[in-house]
Amino acid sequence: MNIKDIAALAGVSKSTVSRVINHADNVDEKTRQQVLKVVEEYDFLPSAMARGLSSKGNNVIGLILPDVDNAFFGQVTQGINEVLLDSQYTMILCCTGNNPDYELRALQTLRQQRVKGILATTSAGFCNVKEAAKIKQAIENISVPVVLIDRAVKGTTWNGVYSDNTNGAYAATSALIEAGFREIGAFISDMPLSLGQERYSGFLQAIKDYRLEPKPELIHLYDSPASSQVIYKETCRLIEANSLPEAVFLGNNIITNGFYKAILEKGIAPGKDIHCIGFDYSEILDIIHIPFSYLERNCKLMGQTAMKLLLKSFEEPSAVREECIIPAALRLDGSLTRGPARS
């Protein structure tokens, strides 16, 4: 069933059918009804491929993510989808596992599909210069609007939606200091990325502003995206070496999970033996009612914002780069509210 068949059945030309299915207004109401009747009777849906070929562009956007099996990206995707549902667009999802080769392939796929725009959390920041350049080039080659999510990429002019990493980390660290702690530790991952650098610098800045000395032995930085396993093991090691700080800033939800798993297993009481503030809420801590303070950022909102930004850049070409910073609000648990903790 194609437009030609419908045209024949309705006794009109292909153009007229095309006009009807595209809601053109220059069609006689009677003809329109005639065509519509046939269209509905045969449940005709024009081929997106043919349409795209002849009219340029196929209303598909590409979403590139490390994985979807992570609360953060799951929620981001959910947000994107909400906006997508109100639009005419469809999404192609590509999960890269932070593997540059997979990402390059995904990018090829998106170019081949002639997507209208790209939403991406790229692994470029983790690669060596050469590979990163390849990825950037591959994105550039698609020649469509791009909105980065969560991870900025240096030396590019793409739009992006990020979190307020610096202020978030600063507020969290300040809160720990205000609560009276002096030996503040930290676990921060993704150090090659701006988000890692920013969280780290927010942390350090707070320490400095309160005239404390950072304790290098309490600060754990990771070059890759952290895994709960790694953090768990490292924390166990620290506990055994008795070198856990009094208070600690946990760089993200994955770190939080690994860290809590270790301390709970070893019988260390959070909110008493140790005080933590993490970046991102962890569902777990809600369920078990264990003291935990965290920086709340609306992940779904990040997805929505990114998608809206993309839609906007479809409408108005806009020469300026847009960056949205999603705030990270401090949610203090009872055990930490001794002092004023806003920054």
Residues that bind a copy of itself in the complex, under the rule CB under 8 A = 43, 45-50, 52-53, 58, 60, 63, 67-71, 74-75, 77-78, 81, 85, 90-95, 102, 105, 108-109, 111-114, 141, 257, 260-261, 264-265, 283-284, 286-290
CB of 327 to DNA, least distance (A): 41
Q: Which phi and psi angles does 135 have, rounded to 5°?
A: -65, -45
State the distance between the two ends of the chain, measured CA to CA, in whole angstroms: 64
Report the C-alpha gap between 96 and 115 in whole angstroms.
Answer: 18
- Judged by CB under 7 A, does residue 58 bind DNA? no
Nearest to DNA of 14, 182 (CB atom): 14
- Judged by CB under 7 A, does residue 27 bind DNA? yes
Report the C-alpha gap between 332 and 343 in whole angstroms.
Answer: 13
The one of DNA, a copy of itself, none whose footprint includes residue 28, by CB under 5 to 8 A per kind, is: DNA
Give the three-state DSSP class for 295: strand
CB of 226 to a copy of itself, least distance (A): 15
Report the C-alpha gap between 6 and 35 in whole angstroms.
Answer: 8
Nearest to a copy of itself of 43, 316 (CB atom): 43
CB of 175 to DNA, least distance (A): 56
Nearest to a copy of itself of 65, 206 (CB atom): 65
CB of 30 to DNA, least distance (A): 6
Tell me the sheet residues that pair with 331. Answer: 294
- Judged by CB under 7 A, does residue 90 bind DNA? no
List b or e across 46-82, with b for residues whose CB sees 16 or more CB atoms inside 10 angstroms. eeeeebbeeeeebebbbbbbbeeeebbbebbbebbee
Give the three-state DSSP class for 272: coil
Report the C-alpha gap between 333 and 6 in whole angstroms.
Answer: 65
CB of 156 to DNA, least distance (A): 27
Contact 67, 254 (CB under 8 A): no
Contact 272, 243 (CB under 8 A): no
Nearest to DNA of 54, 242 (CB atom): 54
The one of a copy of itself, DNA, none whose footprint includes residue 3, by CB under 5 to 8 A per kind, is: DNA
- Judged by CB under 7 A, does residue 12 bind DNA? yes
- Judged by CB under 7 A, does residue 128 bind DNA? no
- Judged by CB under 7 A, does residue 53 bind DNA? yes
Report the C-alpha gap between 101 and 134 in whole angstroms.
Answer: 10
- Judged by CB under 7 A, does residue 26 bind DNA? yes
- Judged by CB under 7 A, does residue 4 bind DNA? yes
* DSSP-assigned letters across all residues of 48-117: HHHHHHHHS--SEEEEEES-SSSHHHHHHHHHHHHHHHTSS-EEEEEE-TT-HHHHHHHHHHHHHTT-SE
Two tokens at 274? 């140790």
CB of 168 to a copy of itself, least distance (A): 22
Quick one: which segment of 22-30, 99-107, 167-175, 277-285 binds DNA (CB under 7 A)? 22-30
- Judged by CB under 7 A, does residue 50 bind DNA? yes
Tell me the sheet residues that pair with 250. Answer: 187, 278
Nearest to a copy of itself of 191, 268 (CB atom): 268
Nearest to a copy of itself of 90, 224 (CB atom): 90
Q: Which residues of the shown chain bind DNA in the complex (CB under 7 A)?
A: 2-4, 11-16, 18-19, 21-22, 25-28, 30-32, 44, 46-47, 50-51, 53-55
